[in-house]
Structure 1
Amino acid sequence: MEQSFGKQEKLKSKIFIGQLFEEGKQLKKYPIKLIYVPIPSTEKKHQVGVSVPKRGFKNAVDRNYLKRLLREAYRKNKYLVASAEKSYALMFIYLGKEKKEFSVIEKQMQKLLNELATKVS
């Protein structure tokens, strides 16, 4: 499977983002929270967004670093949800108050994506 994270996979639609927070379902594995909702799409690609709250990390450098780690963890493990029959809008939110190592974030991302795969299939 292709391990890129291209432009068509990024969640940018205000409509889908609003729909996520209004009617989306949640999964949590500390320090990551996943909100997901099915989207009508002709392609079989999920749309993904990441967020790190300013409340937890005042420095933009720290927020951007954690967002990069979240995107990379998703990119490496997206094959876990590739077999879903629908396309989903996914939002990963970092809940922790301190920076975690990539190995911890990746492990929790794998658990989240496995749980999502079992729920949607």
Structure 2
Amino acid sequence: MISSSTHIAIKTYSFNKEEKLKSRKMIETLFREGKAFSIFPYRVIFMPASLTTDKYPVQAGFSVSARKFPHAVDRNRIKRLGRETYRLQKQVLYDALAANSRQMAVFFIYLDKKIPDFATLQPKFSVILDKLAREAGRKEQP
């Protein structure tokens, strides 16, 4: 029998359908009104949002340029690496948002011209998620 604490640990490392940013309206609003910063190799666009689900405080999307990577296989590989790195480290951001009872929409755009490896993305995502967590803790200005 699996203990409940093991079950919770498995849940925190998920990336379910409800956590994925898919709403065209939300994505358009995010690109129009969201704030952005770059930490190479990613450009991160984010904004506080009221999401359709109360279960997860963040919805995230990933994108790779078809111009820089003409083969879909390469684009899919990069997005898969980004999602996996995010999935393993997102708890920092989730905790910060839960502490302030906020929700956020985030979009990650890959900027580099070469396919990364998992080891180079991990420290970058940790910096990105720390910065997003600090933003989540800030008070909104009118």
TM-score using structure 2 length: 0.81
- Give the root-mean-square deviation of aligned CA atoms: 1.1
State the match for 2:77 in structure 1.
65
1:94 aligns with 2:110: yes
Where do residues 74-93 of structure 1 align in structure 2 (5 Å cutoff)?
74-83=86-95, 84=97, 85-93=101-109
1:71, CA displacement in angstroms?
A: 0.3
Gap runs ≥5 in structure 1:
none
Q: How many residues align?
A: 121
State the match for 1:30 in structure 2.
40
Gap runs ≥5 in structure 2:
1-8, 138-142
- Runs of 4+ aligned residues of structure 1 deviating over 6 Å after TM superposition are none
Equivalent residue of 2:92, what SS? Answer: helix
Higher relative contact order (CA 8 A, sep 6+): 1
Decide whether the 8 Å contact of 1:25 with 1:36 is kept in 2.
Answer: yes
Decide whether the 8 Å contact of 1:44 with 1:86 is kept in 2.
Answer: no
Equivalent residue of 1:4, what SS? Answer: coil
Q: Distance in 2 between matches of 1:120 and 1:11?
A: 18
Q: Distance in 2 between matches of 1:65 and 1:87?
A: 28
